[in-house]
Amino acid sequence: SYTPQGNPGIEVYQINGTQPASLLYSLKNTNASFYTFNQDQSFLYAASEDMDSKALVNAYQKNKEGKFEFINSAGSMGSAPCYVAFRNKSKTVYSANYMGGSMSVFKTSNGKLLPASQLIQYKGSSIHPERQQGPHAHMIAIAPDESYLLVTDLGSDKIYQHTIKEDGLVNENYNPIAITAGNGPRHIVFTPKGNRAYLINELSGAIDVFDIENKKFTKIQTITSDTTTLSKTKGSADIHLSPNGKWLISSNRVSSNDLAIFKVGAKGLLSPVGHQTVATRPRNFSFDPSGNFVYVASQDDNKVQIFSFNSSTGKLTNTNNDIKVMSPVCLKFIPRNPR
């Protein structure tokens, strides 16, 4: 969560979609805008979305009791880190720095973050007079085979495709994938086989669907997520496929404050099913591992809503078991104590 009122940043809850959640413990992490795990979830890496020298990536290790403990921090080398990703093959951490318009690459040693080994500084702008005056790296998506990664640049209407080297460093000669001017690409999700990807555009409220063959992206569909008619009030945020791959959901903020639900066709094309109203500013959401529940982080209403999900119809139903959290912005699931 963001921490404007002194809340800890990371809070760990025991959950059951049909029962109220209970707080287990918390971790002090300023503006924990996003976090991720290594493959066996023994290490946690979290951003501290701040400016200049206060912009950090933090590492935590799970102890014998199954609780995460702080290990160390490393400077992100770019302001406002808003996304972190982990590559299992090389045990490498990547940070997307929104205000810095850059990506940082960190090697690790026994889970500990080493100082940034690489900083990729992007350049460019686009047509939105306020949001696109310069580059704004928003997300890093690692391909399922971990051979390349994507960086979405909301400020330049580009997706940067970097080949990943064996040691986790990236090829600085990236392939820029152009997005429609003014769209503002934000988050992108791969199918498990890596043959297709779905992009949510923050400023236009549209979803772009791409076929991927030999690492080449071809757009095959654009469909509306945010149905608000006024462009100034659009603000799409997050996008996820259901665990069974048959459904896709995206979140819309600012005025819509809803989830858009789509059926995924045999060739990956999307068909709209409907919208589910949620609390204010759903910046982030997630299916639980079973696919039976969807948890929605509503940043401005200071709560996480829990919806049951019907995998046959796509219908969401509010369980009314809200979790009260200040400014929630990232949700992740872990087994109770898998070690």
**Structure confidence by residue, pLDDT tens digits, 259-305:** 999 999 989 999 999 999 999 999 999 999 999 999 999 999 999 99
**Contact status, residue 77 vs residue 96, Cβ threshold 8 Å:** no
* Distance of alpha carbon 316 from alpha carbon 25, whole angstroms: 29
User: Is residue 313 in some structural domain?
Assistant: no
Q: pLDDT category, 4, cuts 50, 70, 90?
A: confident
**pLDDT value of position 337:** 57
**pLDDT value of position 115:** 98
**Structure confidence by residue, pLDDT tens digits, 140-184:** 999 999 999 999 999 999 999 999 999 999 999 999 999 999 999
**pLDDT value of position 338:** 47
Amino acid at 105: V
Mean of all residue pLDDT scores within the chain: 96
pLDDT > 70? residue 336 = no
**pLDDT value of position 339:** 46
User: Is residue 57 in some structural domain?
Assistant: yes
User: Which domain range does residue 41 map to?
Assistant: 31-146
**Structure confidence by residue, pLDDT tens digits, 209-235:** 999 999 999 999 999 999 988 767 899
User: Is residue 79 in some structural domain?
Assistant: yes
CA gyration radius for the chain? 19
pLDDT > 90? residue 78 = yes
**Structure confidence by residue, pLDDT tens digits, 237-265:** 999 999 999 999 999 998 999 999 999 99
* Distance of alpha carbon 185 from alpha carbon 207, whole angstroms: 9
Q: Kindly give the pairing relationship between strand 258-264 and strand 247-252.
A: antiparallel
User: Is residue 160 in some structural domain?
Assistant: no
pLDDT > 90? residue 17 = no
**Structure confidence by residue, pLDDT tens digits, 31-57:** 999 999 999 999 999 999 999 999 999
User: Is residue 140 in some structural domain?
Assistant: yes
pLDDT > 60? residue 331 = yes
User: Is residue 22 in some structural domain?
Assistant: no
User: Is residue 76 in some structural domain?
Assistant: yes
Per-residue DSSP letters for 36-96?
EE-TTSSEEEEEE--SGGG-EEEEEEE-TTS-EEEEEEEE-SSS-EEEEEEETTTTEEEEE
Count of domains observed in the chain: 1
pLDDT > 70? residue 85 = yes
Q: pLDDT category, 132, cuts 50, 70, 90?
A: very high
Q: What is the CATH number of the domain that holds 100?
A: 2.130.10.10
pLDDT > 90? residue 93 = yes
Give CA angle at 117 (115, 119), nearest 5°: 110
User: Is residue 126 in some structural domain?
Assistant: yes
